[in-house]
A = this chain, B = another copy of it.
Amino acid sequence: MMKLKIGIIGAGGIATNRHIPVLFKLNEVEVCGLYDVRKEQAEKVAQLFSIPFIAESEEALFNKVDAVIICTPNKFHHLSAIKALEAGKHVFCEKPMAISSKDAQAMEDAANAAQKVLQIGYHYRFKKDSLAAKKAISNGQIGDPVVVRVEAMRRRKVPGWGVFTNKEIQGGGCLIDYGCHLLDLAMWLMDFPEIESIQGQTYELVSRDADQVNEWGIYDATTIDVEDHATAYIRFTSGATMLFETSWAANVPEDKETLSISGTKGGMTVFPYSLNKATQGMLTTTKADWISGEDEELAQLRHFVSCCIEDTLPIVKANEAKRVSAIIEEIYRQSI
């Protein structure tokens, strides 16, 4: 069997903690090279994982591989992705797709022109509970979704490392970095319905305190310029609505990551998967005690590799990820 040759662009934490170790678990794959503008970091990572080739440029990497995994800061996603697609390479790009919907559109166009796979790293869709929820909705278990609730709430956990608190590089804070996952998942479970209106507001609630109490390390409270909290309300043309909230730094009793849906025939919570129905004279709750499948990060890349090899459309489509970016963009626009 010919193995799919893969190159890494951006050798930071996401690459080293998540994607590279996962790729080594996939038999159909060979990690052939990597590129990072920070030469030294590239060398450190290449040595750590015995990656044979350190590219001097993205172009040099393209020559050696069939596909690239893009793990750069958000601001650079579209640049690398478009270059790779134009070079005829499949692209797996970390979320969010891009900071602006215009850039996302350009990525989608490039993928279409190149007829190559472009998958965005919304791995929440590959969680076992998410897949079970998707299957149950498709089977009509809850009828049509009408009310969707999203809470992606972390208690005082502003990331104290990397560039997460820099708006120019990342495009925003908790919404574009964390809330985007749950937003994408909610939209996917609803089958990306047509939107009638979006209302949203971001906040810089607590992260500017000098005497911060923060569970995830120490950040510079004088330079952080991204939101740490956001709310939104999306109304769909079907009449459905979504209540959305995300935070990096909420003063709440505990972290909360919930997505629940009320439909015309039943209700569902996704984490953990559970179904509420009213049938046969009973109000019932069905829980999944065990779900077959594998870890979402492994499942996500296995799926990408399979799409590349079999030339099929990925589950996380460029068009969908673009719509998620557009929603985020609109919430930021209203919050200026």
- Which residues of A are in contact with B by a Cβ distance under 8 Å? 132, 135-136, 139, 142, 146-147, 149, 155-156, 197, 199, 201, 203, 205-206, 209, 212-213, 215, 229, 231-233, 235, 239, 241, 243, 245, 247, 250-254, 260, 262-267, 269, 273-274, 276-293
Most B C-beta atoms less than 10 A away, residue of A199, A245, A254, A290: A290
**What are 25 inter-chain pairs, A to B, with CB distance below 8 A?**
A132-B282, A139-B280, A146-B203, A146-B205, A147-B231, A147-B245, A155-B289, A205-B262, A205-B264, A209-B278, A213-B278, A213-B283, A213-B290, A231-B243, A233-B243, A243-B243, A250-B267, A251-B276, A251-B278, A253-B269, A253-B285, A254-B289, A281-B293, A282-B290, A284-B286
B residues within 8 A CB of A155? 276, 283, 289
Q: CA of A212 to CA of B36 in the docked complex: distance in angstroms?
A: 46
Residue of A205, A283, A293 with most partner-chain B CB within 10 A:
A283
Is B282 a contact partner of A291 (Cβ separation < 8 A)?
yes
Q: Lowest 3 CB-CB distances: which A-B pairs, in order? A: A251-B267, A233-B233, A213-B278
Given contacts A156-B283, A233-B233, A283-B290, 6 further A-B contacts (CB under 8 A): A155-B283, A199-B233, A253-B276, A254-B289, A282-B288, A284-B289
B149 x A245 contact (CB < 8 A)? yes
Distance in Å from the Cβ of A231 to the closest Cβ of chain B? Answer: 5
Compute how far the CA of A138 lies from the CA of B285 in the bound complex, rounded to whole angstroms.
20
Least Cβ distance of A212 to chain B in Å?
A: 8
Question: Closest CB-CB distance, A170 to chain B, in whole Å?
Answer: 22
- Specify which chain B residues have a CB less than 8 angstroms from the CB of A215 in the assembled complex: 283, 290
